[in-house]
Amino acid sequence: MMPPDGFFGLTFDPKVDLGHFLTFLTLAAGFCWWLYTGIKSRRKAAEDEAWSGAARLLLKLLRDRGVAASMEALYAEFNSPNLSTQRKAYCRRDWKFKDMTQFEAAVYRLDFEGKIDFPSGNEIAFRLDHSDSRGPRFFPSEVDRSKLLEIFERAIPSEDVNIWDLEKLAEASMRASPEETALVIRRELQNANAVVQRRAASIVGRLLPEIPKSSGVVV
């Protein structure tokens, strides 16, 4: 039985202050929510980055082939063990398509962006002519340019905008207001938030020009 003066001469008050306890619960719940949203945000950013890298690697495979490839052949080549190093370089990890349905979604996204052609029903080819001949062109006004820049600027830190759509917004803003858009991207590359930094870096990867093989730069 515990002596009246407590353990080692220390006296403990068995009463708990209800206000302090509720404060503790509020802080604990807030911390758990912050931890959960942080982990969720990082996972989503990593997945978006992997998808964006996978799309670029698919384009590289098609360009290197120089000829059309069937969906099945390109899927098998992308997921092959021999391509592990390149997957890590483009996707930041050894990311693979889970199944053909997921692979087809990426292919149709590239088709939507005008990066590939379908010579036949089941074949894919790298699109060499990227000129837009699908209809009338849109000539933005100063108000349009400002609005495009504003939309792009708000989209960079937004978790609701996936990396695919963000890259498209970056392209539109860059075409309308190249100098202002470049300033926004440079600013976000220095953002204290690592997730925003990675999203900005993904945009840069999309907008970087191709380095000529004759330039002597090792890639």
Residues 55 and 119 in one domain: yes
* pTM (two decimals): 0.47
Q: Which string of b and e fits 163-178 if b means at least 16 CB within 10 Å?
A: bbebbbbbbbbbebbe
What pLDDT shows up at residue 18? 65
Residues 57 and 111 in one domain: yes
What pLDDT shows up at residue 184? 93
**58-108 per-position pLDDT tens digit:** 888 988 888 888 889 999 999 999 999 999 988 888 989 999 888 888 888
- Give how far Cα 189 sits from Cα of 6, 29, 47, 156, Å: 58, 32, 19, 11
Q: Which string of b and e fits 46-59 if b means at least 16 CB within 10 Å?
A: bebbbbbbbbbbbb
Q: Given a cut of 90, is residue 154 above it in pLDDT?
A: yes
Residues 120 and 160 in one domain: no
The rounded Cα 11 to chain-centroid distance in angstroms is: 57
Q: Residue 161: inside a domain, yes or no?
A: yes
| Beta bridge pairs of residue 120 | 123
The stretch 137-141 carries a mean pLDDT of 78
Structural domains of the chain, count: 2
Q: Residue 98: inside a domain, yes or no?
A: yes
